Amino acid sequence: MTNQEISDFLQNAITENRVMLFMKGTPDQPRCGFSMRTSAALNAMGVQYAAMDILPDQRIREELSALSGWPTIPQLFIDKKLVGGCDIVLEMYESGELAEALGVQQPAEEPQAPDAAAPESAPLGLENRLS
């Protein structure tokens, strides 16, 4: 695939999925702690989201960062807009802003950044056709 094809694929993933997470690994098998905590926050909210592993090809990360203007992974998009990375997502989770952005109820217990846990329901998966 060309870099332009990768960029187009990433843009389509953002456009076609209301909640899109680009991460290292998958929600079931995260490959870094930041990705693990970000997907755990989404899992705790009980929302459906699409996730894509950026590790199979370095160009995926390069094109994603060029597209978003954000240098680090994970990257969370809601309604086609970049929310940010792990720290921002966890701050939003704790403050209730993430629940508001997602249109869901904040979990009843005292909000804290969740520990990584196996998802209760599997997130939407994107077939990684870029490798």
129 domain residue, yes or no = no
126 domain residue, yes or no = no
Q: What is the pTM of this model?
A: 0.82
Q: Please count the residues of the chain.
A: 131
How much is the CA Rg of the chain, to the nearest whole Å? Answer: 14
pLDDT at residue 124 greater than cutoff 50: no
Looking at residue 113, what DSSP letter applies? P
Q: Residue 19: which CATH number?
A: 3.40.30.10
Q: How many domains does the structure of the chain reveal? A: 1
59 domain residue, yes or no = yes
pLDDT-derived band at 105 (thresholds 50, 70, 90) equals confident
Per residue in 8-30, pLDDT tens? 999 999 999 999 999 999 999 99
Question: Which residues span the domain enclosing 71?
Answer: 3-104
